[in-house]
Amino acid sequence: MCQEDVRDRIGYLVKQVAQAFRSASEERLRGIGLSMAQYAVLTALRDAPGAPAAELARRTFVTRQSLRDVLSGLTGRGLASVAPEPPAGGRAQPVNLTDAGRSLLAEAEAIVLETEARMTAGLSGDEAEQLAGLLRRCRAGLD
Amino acid sequence: MCQEDVRDRIGYLVKQVAQAFRSASEERLRGIGLSMAQYAVLTALRDAPGAPAAELARRTFVTRQSLRDVLSGLTGRGLASVAPEPPAGGRAQPVNLTDAGRSLLAEAEAIVLETEARMTAGLSGDEAEQLAGLLRRCRAGLD
DNA sequence: ACCTCCATGTCAGGTTCCTTACATCGCAAT
DNA sequence: ATTGCGATGTAAGGAACCTGACATGGAGGT
Protein backbone atom coordinates (compact mmCIF):
# COMPACT_ATOMS: atom_id res chain seq x y z
CA MET A 1 0.00 0.00 0.00
CA CYS A 2 1.01 3.60 -0.52
CA GLN A 3 -0.33 4.60 2.90
CA GLU A 4 2.26 6.99 4.27
CA ASP A 5 2.50 8.09 7.87
CA VAL A 6 -0.08 10.70 8.74
CA ARG A 7 2.52 12.88 10.41
CA ASP A 8 4.45 13.38 7.19
CA ARG A 9 1.55 14.67 5.18
CA ILE A 10 1.55 18.30 4.13
CA GLY A 11 -2.00 18.90 5.25
CA TYR A 12 -1.22 17.61 8.70
CA LEU A 13 1.95 19.68 8.94
CA VAL A 14 0.28 22.89 7.82
CA LYS A 15 -2.50 22.39 10.29
CA GLN A 16 -0.09 21.64 13.06
CA VAL A 17 2.14 24.64 12.43
CA ALA A 18 -0.87 26.92 12.14
CA GLN A 19 -2.25 25.60 15.39
CA ALA A 20 1.08 25.90 17.18
CA PHE A 21 1.43 29.45 15.92
CA ARG A 22 -2.07 30.28 17.01
CA SER A 23 -1.63 28.73 20.43
CA ALA A 24 1.71 30.42 21.02
CA SER A 25 0.34 33.80 19.98
CA GLU A 26 -2.89 33.41 21.88
CA GLU A 27 -1.09 32.43 25.03
CA ARG A 28 0.77 35.70 25.08
CA LEU A 29 -2.07 37.78 23.67
CA ARG A 30 -4.16 36.73 26.62
CA GLY A 31 -1.81 38.81 28.71
CA ILE A 32 -3.29 41.95 27.17
CA GLY A 33 -6.80 40.55 27.04
CA LEU A 34 -7.05 39.74 23.34
CA SER A 35 -7.83 36.56 21.45
CA MET A 36 -6.35 35.72 18.07
CA ALA A 37 -9.72 36.39 16.46
CA GLN A 38 -9.90 39.82 18.03
CA TYR A 39 -6.38 40.58 16.93
CA ALA A 40 -7.27 39.60 13.37
CA VAL A 41 -10.26 41.93 13.36
CA LEU A 42 -8.25 44.81 14.78
CA THR A 43 -5.65 44.30 12.07
CA ALA A 44 -8.28 44.21 9.34
CA LEU A 45 -9.73 47.35 10.84
CA ARG A 46 -6.44 49.15 10.62
CA ASP A 47 -5.98 48.05 7.00
CA ALA A 48 -9.52 49.05 6.07
CA PRO A 49 -10.75 51.85 8.33
CA GLY A 50 -14.46 52.47 8.07
CA ALA A 51 -15.14 49.13 6.39
CA PRO A 52 -18.52 47.53 7.05
CA ALA A 53 -18.67 44.40 9.18
CA ALA A 54 -19.25 42.22 6.13
CA GLU A 55 -16.00 43.40 4.61
CA LEU A 56 -14.11 42.67 7.81
CA ALA A 57 -15.61 39.20 7.79
CA ARG A 58 -14.25 38.59 4.32
CA ARG A 59 -10.81 39.81 5.29
CA THR A 60 -10.59 37.62 8.35
CA PHE A 61 -12.13 34.60 6.60
CA VAL A 62 -15.07 34.13 8.88
CA THR A 63 -18.80 34.57 8.36
CA ARG A 64 -20.58 37.82 9.10
CA GLN A 65 -22.30 36.11 11.99
CA SER A 66 -19.03 35.03 13.58
CA LEU A 67 -17.62 38.46 13.12
CA ARG A 68 -20.53 39.94 15.00
CA ASP A 69 -19.57 37.90 18.06
CA VAL A 70 -16.01 39.15 17.97
CA LEU A 71 -16.97 42.70 17.12
CA SER A 72 -19.41 42.96 20.00
CA GLY A 73 -16.59 42.03 22.35
CA LEU A 74 -14.41 44.71 20.79
CA THR A 75 -16.98 47.49 20.90
CA GLY A 76 -17.98 46.48 24.42
CA ARG A 77 -14.44 47.19 25.52
CA GLY A 78 -14.18 50.43 23.61
CA LEU A 79 -11.60 49.18 21.12
CA ALA A 80 -13.77 49.66 18.05
CA SER A 81 -16.86 51.67 17.24
CA VAL A 82 -19.70 50.95 14.85
CA ALA A 83 -21.55 53.90 13.35
CA PRO A 84 -25.04 53.83 14.89
CA GLU A 85 -26.64 54.49 11.53
CA PRO A 86 -25.58 54.12 7.88
CA PRO A 87 -24.24 57.24 6.18
CA ALA A 88 -26.54 58.97 3.72
CA GLY A 89 -27.05 56.89 0.62
CA GLY A 90 -25.71 53.66 2.01
CA ARG A 91 -26.69 50.74 4.10
CA ALA A 92 -23.41 49.50 5.52
CA GLN A 93 -22.41 50.84 8.93
CA PRO A 94 -18.73 51.78 8.97
CA VAL A 95 -16.57 50.35 11.73
CA ASN A 96 -13.52 52.12 13.07
CA LEU A 97 -10.73 51.67 15.56
CA THR A 98 -10.82 53.82 18.65
CA ASP A 99 -7.64 55.31 20.07
CA ALA A 100 -7.62 52.59 22.70
CA GLY A 101 -7.99 50.01 19.94
CA ARG A 102 -5.10 51.46 18.00
CA SER A 103 -2.77 51.44 20.95
CA LEU A 104 -3.72 47.93 22.02
CA LEU A 105 -3.24 46.75 18.45
CA ALA A 106 0.31 48.07 18.54
CA GLU A 107 1.05 45.97 21.59
CA ALA A 108 -0.57 42.92 20.01
CA GLU A 109 1.36 43.43 16.81
CA ALA A 110 4.62 43.31 18.70
CA ILE A 111 3.62 40.06 20.39
CA VAL A 112 2.56 38.34 17.20
CA LEU A 113 5.60 39.49 15.25
CA GLU A 114 7.80 38.19 18.02
CA THR A 115 6.06 34.82 17.90
CA GLU A 116 6.42 34.73 14.15
CA ALA A 117 10.12 35.49 14.47
CA ARG A 118 10.45 32.60 16.88
CA MET A 119 8.70 30.32 14.43
CA THR A 120 11.04 31.22 11.59
CA ALA A 121 14.14 31.51 13.71
CA GLY A 122 15.58 28.32 12.22
CA LEU A 123 15.12 29.56 8.67
CA SER A 124 17.41 31.75 6.61
CA GLY A 125 15.99 34.72 4.77
CA ASP A 126 16.01 32.82 1.53
CA GLU A 127 14.26 29.87 3.07
CA ALA A 128 11.57 32.08 4.53
CA GLU A 129 10.99 33.53 1.07
CA GLN A 130 10.83 30.04 -0.36
CA LEU A 131 8.34 28.92 2.25
CA ALA A 132 6.13 31.92 1.58
CA GLY A 133 6.18 31.20 -2.13
CA LEU A 134 5.30 27.54 -1.69
CA LEU A 135 2.46 28.40 0.66
CA ARG A 136 1.06 30.90 -1.82
CA ARG A 137 1.01 28.22 -4.47
CA CYS A 138 -0.75 25.82 -2.11
CA ARG A 139 -3.35 28.44 -1.43
CA ALA A 140 -3.84 28.96 -5.13
CA GLY A 141 -4.57 25.27 -5.56
CA LEU A 142 -7.52 25.41 -3.19
CA ASP A 143 -9.93 27.64 -5.07
CA MET B 1 8.83 52.01 9.12
CA CYS B 2 9.56 48.38 8.42
CA GLN B 3 5.88 47.48 8.56
CA GLU B 4 5.39 44.98 5.76
CA ASP B 5 2.04 44.01 4.32
CA VAL B 6 0.13 41.64 6.55
CA ARG B 7 -0.67 39.36 3.64
CA ASP B 8 2.98 38.54 3.02
CA ARG B 9 3.74 37.36 6.51
CA ILE B 10 4.46 33.72 7.08
CA GLY B 11 2.11 33.45 10.02
CA TYR B 12 -0.73 34.84 7.98
CA LEU B 13 0.01 32.55 5.05
CA VAL B 14 0.22 29.44 7.17
CA LYS B 15 -3.03 30.28 8.85
CA GLN B 16 -4.71 31.00 5.56
CA VAL B 17 -3.56 27.79 3.88
CA ALA B 18 -4.54 25.74 6.92
CA GLN B 19 -7.95 27.33 6.96
CA ALA B 20 -8.47 26.85 3.23
CA PHE B 21 -7.45 23.23 3.56
CA ARG B 22 -9.76 22.73 6.48
CA SER B 23 -12.67 24.41 4.76
CA ALA B 24 -12.18 22.49 1.55
CA SER B 25 -11.93 19.19 3.39
CA GLU B 26 -14.82 19.91 5.69
CA GLU B 27 -17.05 20.90 2.83
CA ARG B 28 -16.67 17.50 1.28
CA LEU B 29 -16.54 15.55 4.52
CA ARG B 30 -19.95 16.92 5.36
CA GLY B 31 -21.23 14.77 2.52
CA ILE B 32 -20.54 11.71 4.63
CA GLY B 33 -21.55 13.34 7.88
CA LEU B 34 -18.14 14.00 9.39
CA SER B 35 -16.42 17.13 10.64
CA MET B 36 -12.68 17.68 10.44
CA ALA B 37 -12.45 17.21 14.18
CA GLN B 38 -14.22 13.88 13.98
CA TYR B 39 -11.98 12.80 11.14
CA ALA B 40 -8.92 13.67 13.21
CA VAL B 41 -10.14 11.58 16.13
CA LEU B 42 -10.97 8.61 13.90
CA THR B 43 -7.47 8.80 12.42
CA ALA B 44 -5.87 8.95 15.85
CA LEU B 45 -8.01 6.00 16.84
CA ARG B 46 -6.78 3.95 13.94
CA ASP B 47 -3.16 4.81 14.74
CA ALA B 48 -3.62 4.03 18.43
CA PRO B 49 -6.37 1.47 18.93
CA GLY B 50 -7.46 1.12 22.52
CA ALA B 51 -5.89 4.41 23.57
CA PRO B 52 -7.59 6.29 26.41
CA ALA B 53 -9.39 9.51 25.65
CA ALA B 54 -6.61 11.59 27.15
CA GLU B 55 -4.12 10.08 24.73
CA LEU B 56 -6.40 10.85 21.78
CA ALA B 57 -6.64 14.41 23.01
CA ARG B 58 -2.86 14.74 22.96
CA ARG B 59 -2.65 13.29 19.47
CA THR B 60 -5.25 15.64 18.06
CA PHE B 61 -3.91 18.66 19.95
CA VAL B 62 -7.05 19.47 21.87
CA THR B 63 -7.92 19.29 25.56
CA ARG B 64 -9.55 16.26 27.14
CA GLN B 65 -12.70 18.27 27.57
CA SER B 66 -12.93 19.15 23.90
CA LEU B 67 -12.27 15.59 22.93
CA ARG B 68 -15.19 14.46 25.02
CA ASP B 69 -17.52 16.58 22.90
CA VAL B 70 -16.26 15.03 19.69
CA LEU B 71 -16.09 11.52 21.08
CA SER B 72 -19.65 11.61 22.33
CA GLY B 73 -20.77 12.42 18.81
CA LEU B 74 -18.75 9.52 17.49
CA THR B 75 -19.97 6.94 19.99
CA GLY B 76 -23.51 8.19 19.61
CA ARG B 77 -23.34 7.27 15.95
CA GLY B 78 -21.71 3.94 16.57
CA LEU B 79 -18.38 4.85 14.98
CA ALA B 80 -16.33 4.40 18.14
CA SER B 81 -16.81 2.59 21.42
CA VAL B 82 -15.53 3.38 24.89
CA ALA B 83 -14.99 0.50 27.30
CA PRO B 84 -17.65 0.90 30.01
CA GLU B 85 -15.13 0.19 32.74
CA PRO B 86 -11.33 0.29 33.04
CA PRO B 87 -9.47 -2.98 32.56
CA ALA B 88 -8.12 -4.69 35.66
CA GLY B 89 -5.21 -2.76 37.13
CA GLY B 90 -5.81 0.42 35.22
CA ARG B 91 -7.94 3.50 35.26
CA ALA B 92 -8.03 4.60 31.63
CA GLN B 93 -10.95 3.39 29.54
CA PRO B 94 -9.76 2.17 26.13
CA VAL B 95 -11.48 3.58 23.07
CA ASN B 96 -11.77 1.65 19.82
CA LEU B 97 -13.07 2.01 16.30
CA THR B 98 -16.14 0.02 15.38
CA ASP B 99 -16.44 -1.63 11.99
CA ALA B 100 -18.69 1.20 10.88
CA GLY B 101 -16.06 3.66 12.07
CA ARG B 102 -13.33 1.89 10.16
CA SER B 103 -15.23 1.88 6.92
CA LEU B 104 -16.33 5.50 7.22
CA LEU B 105 -12.75 6.47 7.99
CA ALA B 106 -11.66 4.87 4.74
CA GLU B 107 -14.08 7.07 2.82
CA ALA B 108 -12.97 10.14 4.72
CA GLU B 109 -9.34 9.33 4.11
CA ALA B 110 -9.93 9.29 0.38
CA ILE B 111 -11.63 12.67 0.52
CA VAL B 112 -8.89 14.32 2.56
CA LEU B 113 -6.09 12.85 0.47
CA GLU B 114 -7.79 14.12 -2.64
CA THR B 115 -8.05 17.60 -1.17
CA GLU B 116 -4.41 17.49 -0.18
CA ALA B 117 -3.47 16.46 -3.68
CA ARG B 118 -5.37 19.43 -5.02
CA MET B 119 -3.53 21.71 -2.64
CA THR B 120 -0.11 20.50 -3.74
CA ALA B 121 -1.02 20.08 -7.39
CA GLY B 122 1.12 23.05 -8.36
CA LEU B 123 4.19 21.69 -6.59
CA SER B 124 6.75 19.23 -7.86
CA GLY B 125 7.74 16.28 -5.71
CA ASP B 126 10.91 18.01 -4.67
CA GLU B 127 9.07 21.16 -3.76
CA ALA B 128 6.57 19.25 -1.66
CA GLU B 129 9.49 17.67 0.19
CA GLN B 130 11.04 21.08 0.67
CA LEU B 131 7.80 22.52 2.00
CA ALA B 132 7.40 19.67 4.45
CA GLY B 133 10.94 20.19 5.71
CA LEU B 134 10.49 23.92 6.18
CA LEU B 135 7.23 23.40 8.02
CA ARG B 136 8.84 20.90 10.34
CA ARG B 137 11.50 23.42 11.20
CA CYS B 138 8.88 26.07 11.87
CA ARG B 139 7.09 23.69 14.17
CA ALA B 140 10.34 22.99 15.99
CA GLY B 141 10.78 26.70 16.63
CA LEU B 142 7.51 26.93 18.53
CA ASP B 143 8.25 24.78 21.57
C1' DA C 1 1.16 1.81 55.61
C1' DC C 2 0.83 6.44 54.28
C1' DC C 3 1.01 10.33 51.58
C1' DT C 4 2.12 13.18 47.87
C1' DC C 5 2.19 13.63 42.87
C1' DC C 6 0.42 12.84 38.40
C1' DA C 7 -2.86 11.25 35.06
C1' DT C 8 -7.51 10.40 34.01
C1' DG C 9 -12.36 11.29 33.81
C1' DT C 10 -16.00 14.59 34.58
C1' DC C 11 -18.90 18.81 35.16
C1' DA C 12 -19.96 23.76 34.56
C1' DG C 13 -19.67 27.84 32.01
C1' DG C 14 -18.11 30.71 28.38
C1' DT C 15 -16.20 31.95 23.66
C1' DT C 16 -15.78 31.40 18.87
C1' DC C 17 -17.57 29.93 14.82
C1' DC C 18 -20.72 27.62 12.04
C1' DT C 19 -25.41 26.77 9.30
C1' DT C 20 -29.95 28.21 8.47
C1' DA C 21 -33.20 31.63 8.07
C1' DC C 22 -35.21 36.07 7.59
C1' DA C 23 -35.79 41.33 6.98
C1' DT C 24 -34.14 45.21 4.70
C1' DC C 25 -31.85 48.33 1.67
C1' DG C 26 -29.51 49.88 -2.76
C1' DC C 27 -28.95 49.06 -7.54
C1' DA C 28 -29.89 47.84 -12.07
C1' DA C 29 -32.48 45.83 -15.66
C1' DT C 30 -36.89 45.71 -17.54
C1' DA D 1 -42.00 52.66 -11.50
C1' DT D 2 -41.46 48.09 -10.40
C1' DT D 3 -39.35 44.06 -9.97
C1' DG D 4 -35.46 41.15 -9.00
C1' DC D 5 -31.01 40.53 -7.30
C1' DG D 6 -27.17 41.03 -4.42
C1' DA D 7 -25.23 42.68 -0.25
C1' DT D 8 -25.89 43.84 4.43
C1' DG D 9 -27.54 43.26 9.14
C1' DT D 10 -29.75 40.28 12.50
C1' DA D 11 -31.33 36.24 15.16
C1' DA D 12 -31.52 31.39 16.86
C1' DG D 13 -29.44 27.11 17.66
C1' DG D 14 -25.73 23.86 17.54
C1' DA D 15 -20.83 22.19 17.27
C1' DA D 16 -16.17 22.52 18.80
C1' DC D 17 -13.05 24.27 21.74
C1' DC D 18 -11.43 26.51 25.78
C1' DT D 19 -10.41 27.57 31.13
C1' DG D 20 -11.26 26.34 35.79
C1' DA D 21 -12.41 23.16 39.14
C1' DC D 22 -13.12 18.79 41.26
C1' DA D 23 -13.04 13.64 42.28
C1' DT D 24 -10.59 9.46 41.88
C1' DG D 25 -7.18 5.89 40.97
C1' DG D 26 -2.06 4.42 40.35
C1' DA D 27 2.70 4.90 41.25
C1' DG D 28 6.52 5.99 43.93
C1' DG D 29 8.93 8.01 47.88
C1' DT D 30 9.06 8.42 52.91
Pick from B10, B19, B140: which is nearest to A132 by CB? B10
Q: Are A34 and A26 in contact (CB under 8 A)?
A: no
Q: Which residues of A touch B15 (CB under 8 A)?
A: 18, 21-22
Pick from B9, B20, B141: which is nearest to A122 by CB? B141
Q: Which residues of A touch B123 (CB under 8 A)?
A: 134, 137-138
CA dist list (Å): B83 to B52, B66, B97: 9, 19, 11
**Type of residue at A28:** R
Residue B128: closest C-alpha in chain A: A10
pLDDT in tens, A33-81: 899 999 999 999 999 999 999 999 999 999 999 999 999 999 988 899 9
pLDDT in tens, B14-25: 988 998 899 899
Please check whether residue B2 touches A, CB under 8 A: no
B21·A13 Cβ contact <8 A: no
pLDDT in tens, B23-66: 899 989 999 999 999 999 999 999 999 999 999 999 999 999 99
Nucleotides of strand C lying closer than 7 angstroms to a protein CB: 7-13, 15-21, 24-27
pTM value is 0.87
Q: Are A1 and B106 in contact (CB under 8 A)?
A: no
pLDDT in tens, B87-134: 777 778 999 999 999 999 999 999 999 999 999 998 988 999 999 999
Using the CA of B69, give the nucleotide whose C1' is nearest.
Answer: D16
Rounded percentage of chain A residues whose pLDDT exceeds 70 = 91
Please check whether residue A60 touches B, CB under 8 A: no
Checking if the pLDDT of B143 tops 80, the result is no
Interacting residues of B128 by C-beta distance below 8 A, sequence separation 6+: A10, B120
Tell me what the mean pLDDT of segment A4-31 comes to.
Answer: 84
